[in-house]
Structure formats: structure tokens, C-alpha cells
Amino acid sequence: QVTLVESGGGLVQAGGSLRLSCAASTGTFSQYVMGWFRQAPGKEREFVAAISWRTDNTFYGDSVKGRFTISRDNAKSTAYLQMDGLKPEDTAVYYCAAAGPHSDYVSIFPADFGSWGQGTQVTVSS
């Protein structure tokens, strides 16, 4: 289990940008797959993005591809989600998650991530 703390959420106008951060409390951060998910009221938790631990390969949900960028800084034990071109439908609570260590694959399913942050609210006004 890894303790994850998200920050950077807030209120932004459509077309704007936000950068979410996820700080992890582990010295082996580099060995974890990191993911971002979101959940809007009344909807299921949705995969947003993930980054592998070995090659830093990145994966995105179809609804955010080309607008969001996931990255990681292993020296700071922190993952990031840069969100550009935000739309009102991006409004949700955003969660950081970790899978591993040494996960053999990058999953898009919440059940495959063993550690979760508390979430940070992102609201996009039209």
C-alpha cells in the first residue's frame, strides 16, 4: 500500500488548463504503474490516463486523448496530469492510483490499482 495525495484541482473556464499532482509516500515510486481516474456524480469511475513503471509508456482514455498528458518525476515520487482544453464534461473528482510494484502490465481498470488518493475536485464552467 502506498499513500497518495492529490492536489491542483479547482474551478476553471472551458478551454482552460489545470495541472494535477499526486505525491506518493514510498521510496520505490519508480516501480509502480501510476494512473488517473475520474468520477462524475451518478457515473462510474472512468479511466483517464496511466504511465508504466519500466518504460514510461503512456496510455489515455479516448475522451481525453490529445488534451491531457500524464507524466512522472521519480526523484520527487510524484505523478502529474496536465489537462489542457478543458471541457464542462471533464468536471469530476479526479483520483490518483498506483499499481504494483513491478506490475507486468498497465491496466485501465480501477480494480487493478491497489492504492488510491482521496481525490481532488475539478470543475469546468461553460
Q: What is the DSSP string of the chain?
A: ---EEEE--EEEETT--EEEEEEE--TTGGGSEEEEEEE-TTS--EEEEEE-SSS--EEE-TTTTTTEEEEEEGGGTEEEEEE-S--GGG-EEEEEEEE-SS-SS---SGGG--EE---EEEEEE-
pLDDT at 27: 84
pLDDT at 103: 85
pLDDT at 11: 98
For the chain (126 residues), the mean pLDDT of every run of 10, in chain order, is: 95 98 94 97 96 93 98 97 98 97 90 96 97
